[in-house]
Chain A
Amino acid sequence: MIQRLILIVLCISSISSLAQEQDEDLLRIKERLDTVSAFKADLKLDVDISFINMPQKKATVQFEKGKPISFSSEDFALIPKRGLDFSFQELFEYPFITVDRGMETVEGNKLKVVNIIPTDKKADFSIATLYLDLKAEQIAISEISTKKDGIYTLLLDYSTSESVLPTKVEVQFEMERIRIPLNFMGKDIDVDRKKMREEEVKTGKIFLTLDYKTISY
């Protein structure tokens, strides 16, 4: 009986030791991101969604701490609602706890994997997994499970190991198959309705290339 109790106590203590209040490495990276108060960048967007054909689009993106990110474009552009928060301010907006998931090697890079779990119901995500490059103090991958918009993943690429903000971002997201009244906008002879029904939820990708004009710290 005593042995069993000791075992239970040991199990509970080992689980609770995994769930830290807030991960030190993550906080260090967050602090670094917090130093960016504003930026303005030229944005190139390449869309990779099976049912959307779109040439490369250009836009200007503007960020100011505490404000929603804003865009402007001379021609039409589809800009993803998720995945453009490079400062990750949405992620750290409400109180959270972290869980250290250990180290993982991704494409030859050793990355620390940390789960972020918000403790406030107001947060619009339920869990986020961040892959941290501890050496460069950068977030390499973020996988965010939102409450409304499914899961989206960001693969971030930085021009140098000193960079705070990424220059290339791949945004992967889930989206519903578009439904259009057929016969409405042109030739529908080749529309495979069966295939369309099978592909209700699709994964889309958007590749963003950023050329920063100004970064204010």
Chain B
Amino acid sequence: MRALLATEFYKLIKQSRTYYALAAIFVIEGVVLFSAYYQGAGIIDIVLSNLKDTFYFEGNLLNGNLVTYFILNSLWFHVPLILIIIMSGLLTTEYKDKTLQMVMMQPVKKWQYILSKYIVAIVFTTCVVFVLALTSFLLSYALFGKGDLIVYVNGLTFFEHDDALLRLVYAFIVGAVSMVFFSVVSVTLAVIFKEAMKTWIIAAFFLILSNILLKVDFGSELLNKGLYVKLNDTWQYFFTFEIPWNTIYTNVALLIAYTLFTMGVGVYVFQKKDIG
């Protein structure tokens, strides 16, 4: 298993698309930083224009915390989309290049092989989110400095710097769980569909559908709280004034359960399916 994992990591590192995708994530980060630098003050003005009649503002709201929050919001769509593309490639390239048959000719158990793909997907996704978080904090604080964070979640909410930093860190951690879910779904879709293009389209569709369904009321408390689409915004709960810890714990536990179930389905299908 260890050798399989090492090989899978090696393959991932050697894939050029991994670097294209990573570069894409950092380009998004750069664009957010650039636009915040040049347009951030204008955005803040729009947000607070109504309040300007009633209040004086003392202090700077365009700061590292707000810019990091903007980057964090790429977890809604951009980051999972890129991760989906990279992670599905872990398996679809093996089908395409027929290397899968070669591997299967070795004394390798099918379930161990596919499990190693999942583990690599999970570790890599976590690393990507970690690097995204780290670079966001470093660059945002270096360019924009510290200050209070303002967000619009059920009203305008202000967080002091230390509180904001902690909430952003928590949000990245829980956001990573959501990203892992999408990566695992992507690998499972690759198991089912084999072809790269088909897998990308279906995985992207899955992501879009998940985002749309997040805003749909299913008319049932159970579905509204327990369906996977309702769990992918859990990282945003850290920006409500009182953090709903119990909801977050439940949602994260459910999301991990969904992730494990999806992995289980993938392992089962791969085990049963003809690799040809």
Contact = CB atoms under 8 A, between A and B. Distances in A.
Mostly helix, strand, loop or mixed at chain B's interface? mixed
Nearest to B151: A186
Interface in B20-39: none
A interface residue count range (under 10 / 10 to 19 / 20 to 34 / 35 or more): 35 or more
A190 B154 contact: yes
Nearest to A181: B46
Interface string A155-193: 000000000000000000101111111001111111100
A187 B239 CA distance: 9
Contacts of A51: 155-156
B158 A186 contact: no
Contacts of B59: 73-77
A50 interface: yes
A175 B54 contact: yes
Interface string B49-72: 011011111111100000001000
Contacts of A103: none
Contact of A53 (B51, B53, B155, B214): B155
B130 to A, nearest CB: 22
Given A51-B156, A52-B156, A53-B156, A178 B58 contact: no
Interface residues on B, range: 35 or more
A186 to B, nearest CB: 5
Contacts of A95: none
B54 A173 contact: yes
Interface string A53-94: 111000100000000000111111111111000000000000
A149 interface: yes
Contacts of A75: 59, 147-148, 160-161
B58 A79 contact: yes
Nearest to B157: A53
A177 B50 contact: yes
Contacts of A185: 47, 150-153
A179 B50 contact: yes
A79 B158 contact: no
B50 A176 contact: yes
A63 to B, nearest CB: 14
A133 B59 CA distance: 37
A180 B151 CA distance: 11
B195 interface: no
A82 B158 CA distance: 21
Nearest to A187: B236
A186 B236 contact: yes
B58 A55 contact: no
B58 A186 contact: no
Nearest to B43: A184
B174 to A, nearest CB: 13
B53 A175 contact: yes
B58 A191 contact: no
A25 B159 CA distance: 45
Contacts of A176: 50, 53
A49 to B, nearest CB: 9
Contacts of B53: 81, 149, 175-176
B215 A76 contact: no
B241 interface: yes
B239 to A, nearest CB: 6
Given A55-B160, A149-B53, A189-B233, A73 B58 contact: yes
A204 B54 contact: yes
Nearest to B163: A55
A184 B148 CA distance: 18
B63 to A, nearest CB: 9
Given A55-B160, A76-B59, A188-B152, 12 more contacts: A52-B158, A53-B155, A53-B158, A55-B158, A149-B53, A178-B51, A178-B156, A181-B46, A185-B153, A186-B73, A186-B236, A187-B153
Interface of A: 50-55, 59, 71-82, 149, 173, 175-181, 184-191, 204
A-B pairs, 7 with minimum CB distance? A76-B59, A185-B152, A76-B148, A51-B155, A53-B241, A187-B236, A53-B157
